[in-house]
């Protein structure tokens, strides 16, 4: 597989589970100049009325200041890779099988196809797992 593999910091913030909760934080990041490649937002599992937003990348002092003001912090418990490549049927299965065969457990997996390319974000429990995954996928 010919893949682009990059370590990324994912930023997370609690947001209210209400109309405009996500829009408020995304607008604040936009106004600071952030050009986000990835956004996931979901309701909290055990806390009614709360949700969480995950975004990447946050770069530069202005974006980091805005992110902090909006309640974002680097998700230090999730160590992530961004993987891009040419799409083909089963590419997600191939990537996850490769990691499984190397004994690497996934914390999270999100992927999408745009045209003929795919992009995936994979979360791991430790920096060591993320680095091992990067090396295994680069060698595949």
Q: What is the pLDDT of residues 58-107, one digit of tens each?
A: 999 999 999 999 999 999 888 999 999 999 999 999 999 999 999 999 99
Peptide bond between residue 23 and the one before it cis (omega within 30 degrees of 0):
no
Contact, 132 vs 104, CB < 8 A?
yes
Alpha-carbon distance of 8 to 56, in angstroms, equals: 7
Q: Which CATH number fits domain 10-74: 3.30.1600.10, 3.30.70.260, 3.50.50.60, 3.40.50.2300?
A: 3.30.70.260
CB-facing half-sphere around the CA of 67: CA atoms within 13 A: 25
Alpha-carbon distance of 99 to 138, in angstroms, equals: 11
> Quick one: CATH architecture of 77-139?
2-Layer Sandwich (3.30)
Report angle CA 127, 133, 136 to the nearest 5 degrees.
145
pLDDT attached to residue 76: 86
Whether the predicted model's global pTM rises above the 0.85 cut: yes
């Amino acid at each position: 597989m010919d893949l682009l593999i990059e370590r990324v910091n994912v930023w997370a913030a609690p947001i209210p589970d209400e109309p405009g909760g996500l829009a408020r934080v995304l607008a604040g990041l936009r106004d600071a100049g952030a050009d986000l490649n990835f956004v996931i937002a979901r309701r909290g599992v055990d806390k009614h009325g709360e949700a969480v937003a995950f975004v990447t990348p946050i770069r530069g002092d202005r974006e980091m200041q805005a992110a902090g003001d909006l309640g974002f912090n680097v998700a230090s418990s999730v160590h992530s890779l961004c993987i891009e490549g040419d799409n083909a049927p089963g590419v997600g299965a191939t990537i996850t099988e490769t990691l499984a065969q190397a004994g690497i457990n996934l914390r999270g997996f999100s992927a999408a196809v745009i045209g003929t390319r795919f992009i995936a974000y994979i979360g791991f429990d430790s920096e060591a797992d993320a680095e091992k995954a990067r090396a295994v996928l680069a060698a595949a």
